[in-house]
Amino acid sequence: QKEVEQDPGPLSVPEGAIVSLNCTYSNSAFQYFMWYRQYSRKGPELLMYTYSSGNKEDGRFTAQVDKSSKYISLFIRDSQPSDSATYLCAMSLLYNQGGKLIFGQGTELSVKP
């Protein structure tokens, strides 16, 4: 069983839609959660990070963590064609000395004009 599960998609939505991306994890010791965005032929780019249960908002993006259910989400409001990319969840142990990240497989998102 993978430590982090993420539906690879692809996911296609019309411009302006609300997008919901999700990951589940099995290791209850994970305490630090991140979402990365990756455009084609580029490296992952950090979007948001959080280390507690609850919501964190940044512009059109909201990250949600539910540690009791081992479930994290990323919501994108008013989606734009420029949001078309692969979205990767990643997590680590807060006190991991190495900062090693465990990634989900990534969800490919396409926002149609």
Partner 1 sequence: EAGVTQFPSHSVIEKGQTVTLRCDPISGHDNLYWYRRVMGKEIKFLLHFVKESKQDESGMPNNRFLAERTGGTYSTLKVQPAELEDSGVYFCASSQDTRGLYGYTFGSGTRLTVV
* Distance separating alpha carbons of residues 58 and 19, to the nearest angstrom: 15
- Residue 50, interface with partner 1 (CB under 8 A)? no
- Residue 45, interface with partner 1 (CB under 8 A)? yes
**Candidate residues 10, 15, 20, 42; the one interacting with partner 1 per rule CB under 8 A:** 42
3-state secondary structure of 81: helix
- Residue 107, interface with partner 1 (CB under 8 A)? no
Question: Residue 2 or 112: which CB sits closer to partner 1?
Answer: 2
| Alpha-carbon 7 to chain mean position | 11
**Candidate residues 70, 103, 108, 110; the one interacting with partner 1 per rule CB under 8 A:** 103
Question: Residue 79 or 92: which CB sits closer to partner 1?
Answer: 92
Instruction: Kindly state the tokens that stand for 32.
Output: 């630090």
Residues 6+ away with beta carbon under 8 Å from 44:
36, 37, 38, 88
64: amino acid identity, one letter: Q
- Residues in contact with partner 1 by CB under 8 A are 2, 4, 6, 32, 34, 36, 41-46, 49, 51, 88, 92, 94-106
